[in-house]
Amino acid sequence: MAVEVPVEKWTGRVGEVRLGGDGCKRVTIGGANTLPFLKFEGSIPNPPAIAMEVWDSEPSGWPAALTSAWGDVTSDPAAWARKAVEYGADIVMLRLQSARPGMGNTGGAEAGIVVDRVLSAIDLPLIVLGPGIPEKDNEVLVAASRAARGRRIALGNCEEKNYRTIAAVCISDGHVAIAKTPVDFNLAKQLNALLADIGVPSDSVIMDPDTAALGYGLEYSYSTIECLRLAALMGEAMCARPIISHAGPESRHQKESRATRGVPAAWGDPAERAVLWETLTATTCIHAGADLVVMCHPGAVELVKFAIGKLMG
Amino acid sequence: MPIKGTDVAKKLPQRKGCKDCGFPTCFAFAMKLASGGATVDKCPYLSEEIRAELEDALAPPIKLVTVGSGEDALKIGNEEVIYRHEKTFAHAPGIAVLISDKEDDEGVEDKIAKMKELQFERVGLTLRADLFALKFQSGEKAKYEALVKKVCDAGDAGIILISEDLGALFAARDICAGRNPLLYPITKDNLEQAIPLIKQSPTPVGVKAESVEALIPLTSRLKEEGIEELVLDPGSGNFLEVLRDQTLIRRAALKQNFRPLGYPTIVFPCFLAGDGLEEILTASMCVIKFAGIIVLSDLKKDSLLPLLVQRLNIYTDPRMPLAIEQGVYEVGQPKDEAPVLVTSNWSLTYFLVSSATEESKVHAFVCVKDTEGLGVVTGWGAGKFSGDSVGAFIKKSGIEERVKHRKLVIPGKVARIRGELEEALPGWEIVVGPREAGELPGFLPALARSLTGG
């Protein structure tokens, strides 16, 4: 008895988004017309990319496994970004944490300076995230956008309640908008439509359907990402954007990555644990369809890069 | 696709009014059969031939296979979907640890001990590995049999017997046949020789070939002999081939209802990977991508729990609501001086807050306000976590009768509701907590001390 090899003929393709410019290294994500790594039935022009997270201020509340892995570079965003390049990042993600009211309440001027400093320190593409407070996001991300003209960075987050200013500055300065929605297929699709309506080109949007860490709802993220990817492959244009997943930042909040005392001995060494929980969060999202994962621990980055290398053949 | 009820009805004897199957008519029985609610043997009037035909047509597209015996026996297969959002993945893969009879006593004891010790309580479940995979490698049958006996005596975990030498394989099977071990590998070279031996004392069989397609004649032949408790190994040579082969087998079984591949699978990260970390990467891919049994070279503290949690996550019911019920939840055993926190009813938010509170080693009340499953910031934006509505919720939540203090911790991300909330809750002091749940362990202990210290 013979079997017809069950190959899927998808009609859709994920759009490609290019980051970087101005003579510096470029990274393109997206572009696949099949599910992750199924190269026997489609093309996957770009491997999943890894962005490493850098803060504009000394991190507070990070697990010991992370602070010790990075050492003293965390006091200087430019040095930190350079170190991320050494550790194999494809992209650096700068979080403008100091713009938070409780953490310095810095404004546009400071944001412009730090973005400029980090961009001068590296020749990789950059992602800049605001503090997540609408008024502050609009202020600091506009400044970041201006400072990064020509480098085609990604700016986030555009959310349903606050996307116009960030989207507009992405259009005018030639950057990429990150569209963030809480773990939900329809909300992700809607926000892509809203961004398209106000004129953000389809090759300038990355969607962030939100990530929950391993053990903290990862399965919801998995299925949301997988559904978005399946819809894209079935030809749904408003789902055909590359997907970013914040596997690292979510993992560093979880107990299993943080706790050093008062947990069962069977949990193992805290440093190894931090690496593995972050790694499995990231690879699970990649197997669901994420095109870009944000990560924190250099050890986890090494493992995820290794897995991607094997799977891209 | 599975057979339709109307087609089943055509095969039934259509005896009027016998009701021996417990259904009023043959048609009603047929519909029940097609939906899986009844079994063919309830009808006493079917010929052997028709019964076999119906049983075959009604069988699930991926056979349910049991490895092991007793309550803890591992059941795999019976999967109905390729994508987990469609329907719950039915049977989580078994995690096995490999022991070779060439390993020294100390190594063997260590693995047996770890199988017992590395058990984890999580959300009311015990997570642990399931099976021992015992490999004949020494060339000395007595040594192999001693290993099999030792592992059998050590506990109830299921057993996989691995031996290229059929003599050693079946001698070991005879030692532990009552434990219903999985025999591996049955290949094109030993198939005919193995068939009569398998039939002597049927247990599940692991079929190995050098490709997905090469499995087909083997499983077809075994089925002819009535041997259907099968587990498939398509001989994938690396990480990428594992993904391809597991995907193809699942699709052939479910999308084409192709019976010869309608069995659960086994994957050996222990033989494929260069080191322990690569092994975990391979194993965790197998958890997501359809494996039935995953064999590891060792059980390690750092890596076993994340793998088991991933398995738990992937095999949960996707229809579970993302929101949890509004109300007051206890973390630990809070008394009337315990801190009171309020958060939204998005389950992920609640998980983070409750686990961070637990980690703080503080007994506390977590008041969960219905925001229709939105996080606190989004919920605030949608008017479902405003000062007024949170105040009204706190008043009717009954928390005022359960604590003697009047301090309420709100999430730092919605510090702006403080004023409105203080107006809505006269007599309460609103304390702005950290922005991230992960920062609670640095915050709650001091607050708890201030509440008890007065």
CA angle centred on B269, ends B265 and B271, rounded to 5°: 110
β-bridge partners, A159: A162
Chain A CB within 8 Å of residue B195 CB = no
Q: Locate A137 and state its tokens.
A: 């996001």
What's the full length of chain A, in residues? Answer: 313
Q: Residue A205 has what pLDDT?
A: 98
Contact B240 A218 (CB under 8 A): no
Contact A183 B348 (CB under 8 A): yes
Chain A CB within 8 Å of residue B383 CB = no
| Share above pLDDT 70 across residues of chain B, in percent, rounded to a whole number | 98
Q: Give Cα separations from B82 to A24, A160, B4, B89, B263 (angstroms).
A: 42, 32, 21, 8, 14
Q: Give Cα separations from A302 to A52, A130, B279 (angstroms).
A: 11, 27, 15
Does the pLDDT at position A261 exceed 90?
Answer: no
Residues ≥6 apart with Cβ < 8 Å to B237: B272
Closest CA to B341 of B416, B423, B444, B454: B444
Q: Residue B250 has what pLDDT?
A: 97
Q: Give Cα separations from B127 to A150, A294, B110, B182, B304 (angstroms).
A: 52, 29, 19, 22, 10
pLDDT tens across B351-396, in order?
A: 889 888 887 889 999 999 998 888 898 889 888 999 999 999 999 9
Among the partner-chain residues B243, B302, B351, the one whose CB lies closest to the CB of A217 is B351
Q: Of A85-99, B24-38, B161-175, which range is least confident?
A: B24-38
pLDDT tens across A56-113, in order?
A: 999 987 889 999 999 999 999 999 999 999 999 999 999 999 998 878 999 999 999 9
pLDDT tens across B149-159, in order?
A: 999 999 999 99
Cα B54 to chain centroid distance, Å, stands at: 31
Mutation target vs B (from A187, A214, A226, A280; most B CBs, 10 A cutoff): A280
Cα A114 to chain centroid distance, Å, stands at: 20
- Whether residue A88 contacts residue A301, with contact meaning beta carbons closer than 8 Å, is answered with yes
E-strand ranges in chain A read 16-19, 27-30, 49-55, 91-95, 126-129, 154-158, 176-180, 205-208, 244-245, 292-295
Alpha carbon distance B11, B13 (integer Å): 7
Alpha carbon distance B418, B431 (integer Å): 8
| Share above pLDDT 90 across residues of chain A, in percent, rounded to a whole number | 84
Classify burial at B41, counting beta carbons within 10 Å of its beta carbon; exposed 0-12, middle 13-18, buried 19 or more: exposed
CB atoms within 10 A of CB B113: 12
Burial B338-364 (b: 16+ CB within 10 A, else e): bbbbbbbbbbbbbbbbbbbbbbbebbb
Contact B256 A3 (CB under 8 A): yes
What sign for the dihedral angle of Cα B67, B69, B74, B80? positive
Q: How confident is the model at residue B124 (pLDDT cuts 50, 70, 90)?
A: low
Q: How confident is the model at residue B98 (pLDDT cuts 50, 70, 90)?
A: very high
Does the pLDDT at position A253 exceed 90?
Answer: no
Q: Locate A150 and state its tokens.
A: 């020509």
Does the pLDDT at position B348 exceed 70?
Answer: yes
- Domain B5-58 sits in CATH at 1.10.15.40
Q: Locate B109 and state its tokens.
A: 């004891």
Q: Are strands B120-122 and A49-55 parallel, antiparallel or unpaired?
A: unpaired
**A5 neighbourhood in chain B, CB within 8 Å:** 248
Contact B260 A303 (CB under 8 A): no
- Whether residue A165 contacts residue B385, with contact meaning beta carbons closer than 8 Å, is answered with no
Q: Residue B279 has what pLDDT?
A: 95
Q: How confident is the model at residue B278 (pLDDT cuts 50, 70, 90)?
A: very high
Q: Which residue of B has its CA nearest to A8?
A: B251
Chain B CB within 8 Å of residue A9 CB = no
pLDDT tens across A114-149, in order?
A: 999 999 999 999 999 999 889 999 999 999 999 999
Same fold flag, B65-314 and B327-453: no
Domain ranges of chain B: 5-58, 65-314, 327-453
What's the whole-number average pLDDT of chain B? 92
Contact B284 A61 (CB under 8 A): no
Chain B CB within 8 Å of residue A311 CB = yes
Contact B316 A279 (CB under 8 A): no
Q: Residue B15 has what pLDDT?
A: 78
CB atoms within 10 A of CB B220: 12
- Whether residue A125 contacts residue A95, with contact meaning beta carbons closer than 8 Å, is answered with no
Alpha carbon distance A205, A242 (integer Å): 8
Q: Which residue of B has its CA nearest to A7?
A: B248
Q: Which residue of A has its CA nearest to B275?
A: A303
**B356 neighbourhood in chain A, CB within 8 Å:** 253, 255
Helices (H), B262-336: 269-272, 276-288, 301-314
β-bridge partners, B76: B65
**Cα-atom radius of gyration of chain B, to the nearest Å?**
28
The CATH fold assigned to B327-453 is Rossmann fold (3.40.50)
Alpha carbon distance B118, B294 (integer Å): 17
- Domain A44-259+268-312 sits in CATH at 3.20.20.20
Helix (H) or strand (E) holding B65: strand B65-67
- Domain B65-314 sits in CATH at 3.20.20.20
Closest CA to B162 of B104, B212, B231: B231
Interface of B with A in 241-260 (CB under 8 A): 243-244, 247-248, 251-252, 255-256, 258, 260
Domain ranges of chain A: 44-259+268-312
Closest CA to A207 of A216, B182, A227: A227
Does the pLDDT at position A197 exceed 70?
Answer: yes
Backbone region of residue B194 per phi and psi (left: phi > 0; alpha: psi in -120 to 50; beta: other values): alpha
Alpha carbon distance B331, B350 (integer Å): 11
Q: How confident is the model at residue B1 (pLDDT cuts 50, 70, 90)?
A: very low
CA angle centred on B256, ends B205 and B292, rounded to 5°: 35
Taking chain B, what is the end-to-end CA distance rounded to the nearest angstrom? 69
Place of tokens 């949990």: A267
Closest CA to A210 of A132, A125, A98, A101: A132
Q: In terms of C-beta distances under 8 Å and separation of at least 24 residues, what long-range contacts does A136-141 make, across chains too? A: A136/A99, A136/A100, A136/A101, A137/A162, A137/A166, A138/A162, A138/A165, A138/A166, A139/A99, A139/A107, A139/A108, A139/A111, A140/A96, A140/A99, A140/A106, A140/A107, A140/A108, A140/A110, A140/A111, A141/A96, A141/A111, A141/A165, A141/A166, A141/A169
Q: Which residue of A has its CA nearest to B412?
A: A102
DSSP assignment string, B192-254: HHHHHHHHHS---EEEE-SSHHHHHHHHHHHHHTT---EEEE----SHHHHHHHHHHHHHHHH
Q: Which residue of A has its CA nearest to B357?
A: A255
